[in-house]
Amino acid sequence: MSLLAPVLAGLLAASAAGAAETAPSASPFAARRAALLARMPAGSVAVLRAPAEPDQSVDPFRQDSDFWYLTGFPDSDAVALLRPGAADGKRYVLFVRPKDFGEEQWSGWRVGVDAARSEHGADDAHPIADFEQRARELLKGAQSLLIRDGGDGAFREALLAAWHRGDADARALRPAADLGPLVHQLRLVKDAAEQALLRRAAALSVEGHRAAMAALRPGRHEYHLKAKIVEACLAGGAARVAYPPIVGSGPNAVVLHYNRDDRRMAAGEMVVNDSGCEYERYASDVTRSYPVSGRFTPEQRAIYQVVLDAQKAGLAKVRPGTSMTELYNTTVEVVVDGLRRLGLLAGERDAIIRQREFRKFYPHGCCHWVGLDVHDAGSYGVPENVERPERYSQSSATLAAGMVLTVEPGIYIPEGSTSDRKWWNIGARIEDTVLVTPGGADCLSCAAPKEIGDLEKALQSN
């Protein structure tokens, strides 16, 4: 694997410049394939797997994100080959399940082999059952193999075994590597088609959050708000929500990934609603926090205002050339200053930040990529083995126009974390999905109320 690393590193470094050289195409999928083919090492072949369909009674099939990004092919149990140096001109070859009404009647319509060519742009297509036999010829003469297995470990092992059997006829050891870094670097910058879908996903999420606010009443359960979000997503044409909604009230409002949503909400408490729609496979990530009673208590208002100020400061930093670390540090400074002002942190700002004392109230990063996945693919400039919260807060990634990310500071004060009980169980997070533009930030979800006056008005309109 390591033999290919220097080649991949060089290609990744040149990816931004190479994007501008890619020929335009009527199909965003064709343009993405062309961009990837231009970046692949000479003599390489890429193989991508669309995994087998799960039991539909448990989990309806969703195409692997990398496979979809490059092909737009919706069916399960498929394989795509990309061959930049194909002498026969067949640079894009698909292996798919053939049409078979007897099977489709039970599990749904298939694209089939012919439409894989005519409708999905494949230079050639074959039944998936022919992959093993035909792959020998298609891989013959290749000097390196790039793989995305779609989570199918058995497929990867079989492919690698077949690949290495061919080493006996090669002049030198032929490396194999993960295709992911190349694809994910491309996925970081969203094209026009992707931006339109992300806007729609965010707009549906805004509708859902407004509906949840209108449904809020003391005595109702958290799942009442969750239901409003899900309804807005599905009624707007989404196949699913982008992630399981997080609706936590009272003591649950300070739990970042609370997942039960079954508590009865009471007056005097805060509720944190972290919910977003997925539209045509593109995600949004939106959080709003507000008082169950419809009006903030003085303590709730004070904490919420600090979070709102931190998010505004973060949004103002979003522009090409800003690093994620700069953005995060900006939100940290506002949070620390606010908590010092309220007496929840003591000492000098620099010392509190250096010693990370603020992490007991603001334990997460402020930003992550959004796209085909809610925590989207793409480098953060830190090793993959670094835990996710640290990865986001230490990220050295630099923003560029077309990238999409969240801006989401938060403050959470668990019971017993301060000597003054009036702050206990106040949780507040404000999160929006944001597109980086040449001139700054285009907040895709900011139409969901978040100013204190707007929030109280929306909450009291029910």
Of 149, 164, 188, which marks where a domain is finished?
188
Share of the chain above pLDDT 70, in %: 93
Residues 273 and 413 in one domain: yes
pLDDT tens per residue across span 50-61: 999 877 656 788
Residues 429 and 323 in one domain: yes
β-strand 144-148 against 176-178: which pairing, if any? parallel
Residues 161 and 226 in one domain: no
Q: How far apart are CA 320 and CA 20, in angstroms?
A: 16
Q: Which of 445, 282, 436, 448 is nearest to 370 (CA)?
A: 282
Q: How far apart are CA 290 and CA 270, in angstroms?
A: 6
Q: Judge whether 187 and 376 are in contact, CB under 8 Å.
A: yes
β-strand 287-291 against 270-274: which pairing, if any? antiparallel
Q: Residue 107: which pLDDT band, with cuts at 50, 70 and 90?
A: confident
Query: Could you give the residue numbers annotated as active site?
Result: 59, 257, 274, 285, 364, 368, 375, 408, 412, 429, 431
Q: Residue 257: which pLDDT band, with cuts at 50, 70 and 90?
A: very high
What global pTM score does this model have? Answer: 0.92
Tokens of 313: 């400061």
Residues 129 and 57 in one domain: yes
Q: Judge whether 253 and 263 are in contact, CB under 8 Å.
A: no
Q: Is the pLDDT of residue 20 over 70?
A: no
Q: What would the mean pLDDT of 93-101 be, rounded to a whole number?
A: 98
* Edge-first strand listing for the sheet containing 432-437: 404-407, 432-437, 440-443
| pLDDT for position 63 | 96
Q: Judge whether 307 and 346 are in contact, CB under 8 Å.
A: no
Q: Is the pLDDT of residue 394 over 90?
A: no
Q: Is the pLDDT of residue 23 over 80?
A: no
Residues 211 and 141 in one domain: no
| pLDDT for position 168 | 73
CATH of the domain at 114: 3.40.350.10
Residues 33 and 73 in one domain: yes
| pLDDT for position 10 | 41
Q: Is the pLDDT of residue 21 over 60?
A: no
Of 188, 204, 232, which marks where a domain is finished?
188
Share of the chain above pLDDT 90, in %: 84
Residues 28 and 157 in one domain: yes
Q: What would the mean pLDDT of 190-218 be, rounded to a whole number?
A: 98
Q: What would the mean pLDDT of 214-223 be, rounded to a whole number?
A: 98
Token pair 């900011």 in the structure block, residue: 446
Domain of 59 in residue numbering reads as 2-188
